[in-house]
Amino acid sequence: MELSKNYKIVFDEMDWIEVGDGMRFKRIQQGDMQVRLVEWDKAMVHPNWCLKGHIGYITEGDVEIDIAGKVYRYGVGDVFILPDGEEHKHRPKVLSEKVRFFAVEKIS
């Protein structure tokens, strides 16, 4: 989906993209960037490390993110900034029934 003419993102008018395994999202792309509304539930298991960078703002729920072997907890109102690369490899674990957050990312 592209940005609307009034520069407003209305996630309520967008369909969820079901990824499976307890993860879904809504996305808008602009140039080499994207903004996503992401939702994970308890069924989401992320066995592999993610090397892609993300900036996220938690709007609902609690999550632990293992970043290169050190675990950090994030909840409503928290922002995380994860740079690209092996030294910032990360994987989440949902602590509440679900976690919802906005993510800003480069499209690779």
What's the average model confidence in pLDDT over 63-80?
A: 97
- Choice among 3-7, 42-46, 94-98 with the minimum mean pLDDT: 3-7
In angstroms, rounded to a whole number, what is the distance separating the alpha carbons of residues 93 and 91? Answer: 7
In angstroms, rounded to a whole number, what is the distance separating the alpha carbons of residues 57 and 49? Answer: 20
pLDDT of residue 1: 56
Total domains present in the chain: 1
Are the beta carbons of 35 and 107 closer than 8 angstroms? no
Residue 47 lies in a domain: yes
Q: Report pTM.
A: 0.89
Residue 102 domain boundaries = 11-106
End-to-end CA distance of the chain: 17
In angstroms, rounded to a whole number, what is the distance separating the alpha carbons of residues 79 and 82? Answer: 10
CATH value at residue 32: 2.60.120.10
pLDDT of residue 4: 61
Residue 3 lies in a domain: no
Burial class (CB in 10 A: 0-12, 13-18, 19+), 31: exposed
